Structure 1
Amino acid sequence: MNQPLAPGATIGIVGGGQLGRMLAMAAARLGYHTVVLEPDKACPAAEVVGHHIVASYDDGRALEQLAKLSDVVTYEFENVPVMAARSLADRVPLHPSAEALEAAQDRLSEKIFLNTIGIPTAPFVSVDNEGDLAQGLVRFGGNGVLKTRRLGYDGKGQRVFRQARPGDAGGVVAAMGAVPLILEGLVAFEREISIIAARGLDGTLAAYDPAENIHRNGILFQSTVPAAITDETADAAREAAYAILSALDYIGVIGVEFFVLPDGSLLVNEIAPRVHNSGHWTEAACAISQFEQHIRAIAGLPLGSTARHSDCTMENLIGSDQDRAPALLAEADLMLQLYGKAEARPGRKMGHFTRIRPRGDQIG
């Protein structure tokens, strides 16, 4: 794709969750049609896309149909089967690439990749059996987080060890499904931040200001901008994101999560090859949201400004929290986004809101 997509072109999206929904809305604003591949007939994106292919992500015929209907394809989550991504890439431009997707799907491979390009992470060991886990616990002084290497998100597929002994490893690997695991050493960090960055087809790089994140029960609860970090730490986060984008020859928006250590230095926690929950604040506090930025990047358009006109706090609405919508809408300087999900379940993200305030104002 040497020329930017013209208005009226079609963007394919693999995955029809809330991120796919918001990507489709951003695409429509720029004059593009959208088609989504998603097995759930009632997915959030179904209400806003032009065409919905109801099929599994690895359905060969569905992938062929998606490729035929699309001028470019992207995805909204990182657990798309890599073989499906490669199949699409053989037929139509795919951004981000299948290689970028694969790098982020396995936590062990991801950390090895990051360390290889000079970006530090928490210490880690691969765990395939109880002996590996016992040795890892000894290495990390009995403290660590055991995670599935694939498919875990929002705190799922994790177990925390504190002051554990080697004998405490008994039965744990089997209880977690006897799948490949990774044990990460616990890090004494001061706060968690993330940065949303983008790389265009022409190699242009852009990044939004880092957000400071608070998690509850493994799920992002709140993101605040600006983060309580120094300019030097913010610059380091930006440069790390740029290094990752360049090393992957990446096209589109990426989310990079960091631990901030007491001395202001950073460890990368994980990368997400897509628009990211902690970047939802950009809808309300920037002229160009992360969703429009992603569409611009994959369509070959110039990247937009990442300047922030307001300070803000974004908060997720989990489960029955969406019942707060009428009261929230009565507030001034608040932007609400509901995802159109039919059933509110505990732990399920149903929407989010962002409160904006003049830059430099203290949070009340």
Structure 2
Amino acid sequence: MLSTPSVGVLGGGQLGRMMMEAANRLNIQLNVLDAPNSPAKQISAHDGHANGSFTDPPSMRRLAETCDILTTEIEHVDTYALEEVCSKVKVEPTWRTIRTIQDKFNQKEHLSKFDIPMADYRELSNNTAEELAAIGEELGFPMMLKSKTQAYDGRGNYSVKTKADIPAALKALENRPLYAEKWANFTMEVAVIVVKTKDGVLSYPTVETVQEDSICKLVYAPARNISDEINQQAQALARKTVAAFDGLGVFGVEMFLLPDNSLLLCELACRIHNSGHYTIEACSISQFEAHLRAILDLPIPAQSLEIREPAIMLNILGGATPEAHLQVAERALSIPNASVHLYGKGAGRPGRKMGHVTVTARTMEEAERTIAPLLEFVGGANPESNILYTQTLPRLNVRPTVGVIMGSDSDLKTLIPGLRLLRDYFGINPEVEITSAHRTPEYMATYSSTAASRGIKVIIAAAGGAAHLPGMAAAYTALPVIGVPVKGSALDGVDSLYSIVQMPRGVPVATVGINNSINAALLAARILGAFDAGVQAKVEAYAKTAKEENLDLKGVKMKELGWDAYHQQM
């Protein structure tokens, strides 16, 4: 049976609030040091809380006297006060770790000793235009100018695209300790939540983050369009990075995925992290509960960190009016499978994180379709919403789930009916390619072997004559392949039918009738529908319509006219 430990938390913002929700379920008392009525204190009324600043040493000392262990929900704390109290109360993660990580330049200097891949960087000594220009010549433009400390949510970063941007960058970050970082030409920003326990380092799956003005707007969990190999590499890099520091708890690790599929560390936080909010709904153990379990030495089964179902998290930011964020939350209430989290911060202001929404579904494609109306709303499609986003949020670019390949463009006319059925009726926009098993065998092999990593779930392959394409595609992928025999050869497609249907044992290919791309599309939809309720409902509706048309319309009409008259009208 769990005891009733008391955990002191420096900071009572939205992260502390969500940690409080997890603590309440485990009968753990959190004593929060922050201003009165801070978000975390609003949902837990007891006399263990402390009023004051988490940067004020006397207040931190008072909090330390009330708890069994001390932790933080923000890096910007007085680590010298933590160093002072660590002889009286356990501090997790350690004050040394927090002190190193809260200075992003020192963070990089420390990690450089552990062979962690990072973008090249240089420290500024005197913050002059001449010094920054010289660094720009060395690192190359564009580059990022960053504050070493007190930088978060875009505050403290400035993009220096050319020498002409140097004066404005230095003005924007004046009176701050600075360093410059080489620009990372990334294809995707990814993140991994890492849990450091006394027994080792665990990690949640890799997620994709979408940033706007250096503020996280969207998180896709798991990350889209990356292979399992990249997922594992990102988790391994994140665990290696966190292992370089002392102390227990949750760490947020942000990385860049480069065009060559290599990874660079962006930065890490020694606390629960915005990129891990999806874990509340999508995982058995949320990052907030995992943090508490780690610092209190409670069991954390690794399987409980796996994603149970795909999720998309949208941050709700303050807008043009103090109540704009509430309009987003109200709209989200009508979205199926959407969980709304408001942080209790009162009136909103532009750019401030006021809450978040997480949508879960059985597939990422279903989650994307579900959240689309909300993204349209916050992206400015409704000008009356007064939601202030500096740019329109990225429109959904739903990755194809059906790949359609043909040996020649002459096969396209056979595939058109099926392609239109997928696109116009089922809302599935297929990926369509021309590749021949004989003329372009290398590309055919590459296409098929990489299809799953691109999100393809089913391949439709049309071919005439010897019709080797479906079987060869199936030899290079574990995905289901549907073959469409194409009429047009001397044997009217019978040879193609026999070729596709007579695949050797171990290389199965589902085969439809000659030129029957409609059935190929319907079979692909049925396969997807086994895992996507929306597609399955459309399959059922299609079958119902066909039944009604055959029995209720055609059958009734033939009875009324008689079979002979009916045939004459056909």
User: Normalising by structure 2, what TM-score?
Assistant: 0.60
Counterpart in 2 of 1:217? 213
Contact 2:192–2:235 (CA<8 Å) still a contact in 1? Answer: yes
Q: 1:1-364 counterparts in 2 under 5 A?
A: 6-38=2-34, 40-49=35-44, 50=46, 51-128=48-125, 129-130=127-128, 131-164=130-163, 169-170=166-167, 172-173=169-170, 175-201=172-198, 203-227=199-223, 228-304=225-301, 305-319=304-318, 320-359=324-363, 361=365, 363-364=368-369
Partner Cα separation in structure 2 for residue 171 and residue 282 of structure 1? 39
Partner Cα separation in structure 2 for residue 343 and residue 360 of structure 1? 33
- Structure 1 residue 171: Cα displacement: 7.4
Contact 1:204–1:303 (CA<8 Å) still a contact in 2? Answer: no
- Structure 1 residue 67: Cα displacement: 1.1
Partner Cα separation in structure 1 for residue 151 and residue 57 of structure 2? 25
User: Normalising by structure 1, what TM-score?
Assistant: 0.93
Deviations 1:129-178 (A, max 9, x none): 2133121111122311101110011001221111326xx64575455223
Deviations 1:3-51 (A, max 9, x none): xx9432111100011001111111111111111111x223111112333
Contact 1:133–1:169 (CA<8 Å) still a contact in 2? Answer: yes
Contact 2:153–2:214 (CA<8 Å) still a contact in 1? Answer: yes
* Structure 1 runs of 4+ with >6 Å offset: none
Greater radius of gyration (CA): 2
Aligned partner letter, 1:144: M
Where does structure 2 lack aligned partners over 5 or more consecutive residues?
A: 319-323, 370-570
Identity rate, percent: 34
- Structure 1 residue 360: Cα displacement: 5.7
Deviations 1:254-313 (A, max 9, x none): 000000001111000000000000100001111110000001001110124101110010
Partner Cα separation in structure 2 for residue 214 and residue 249 of structure 1? 30
Partner Cα separation in structure 1 for residue 171 and residue 161 of structure 2? 20
Partner Cα separation in structure 2 for residue 124 and residue 110 of structure 1? 12
Aligned partner letter, 1:124: Y
Moved more, 233-242 or 171-180: 171-180
Contact 1:282–1:289 (CA<8 Å) still a contact in 2? Answer: yes
Deviations 1:295-338 (A, max 9, x none): 10011101241011100100000012332222211222111111
Contact 1:126–1:183 (CA<8 Å) still a contact in 2? Answer: yes
- Structure 1 residue 88: Cα displacement: 2.9
Partner Cα separation in structure 2 for residue 171 and residue 219 of structure 1? 21
Contact 2:56–2:78 (CA<8 Å) still a contact in 1? Answer: no
Contact 2:337–2:360 (CA<8 Å) still a contact in 1? Answer: yes
| DSSP 3-state at the match of 1:69 | coil
| DSSP 3-state at the match of 2:65 | helix
How many residues in Structure 1 have an aligned counterpart in Structure 2?
356
Partner Cα separation in structure 1 for residue 352 and residue 116 of structure 2? 32
Aligned partner letter, 1:26: A
Partner Cα separation in structure 2 for residue 190 and residue 48 of structure 1? 40
Moved more, 287-296 or 84-93: 84-93
Cα gap change, 1:91/1:183 in structure 2, threshold over 3 Å: closer, same or farther?
A: same
Q: Which has the higher helix share?
A: 2
Partner Cα separation in structure 2 for residue 230 and residue 60 of structure 1? 47
Deviations 1:100-142 (A, max 9, x none): 1112111111112222111111111001221331211111223
Partner Cα separation in structure 2 for residue 13 and residue 25 of structure 1? 13
Moved more, 25-34 or 271-280: 25-34
Aligned partner letter, 1:153: Y
Partner Cα separation in structure 2 for residue 258 and residue 32 of structure 1? 33
Where does structure 1 lack aligned partners over 5 or more consecutive residues?
A: none
| DSSP 3-state at the match of 2:91 | coil
Aligned partner letter, 1:239: A
| DSSP 3-state at the match of 1:119 | coil
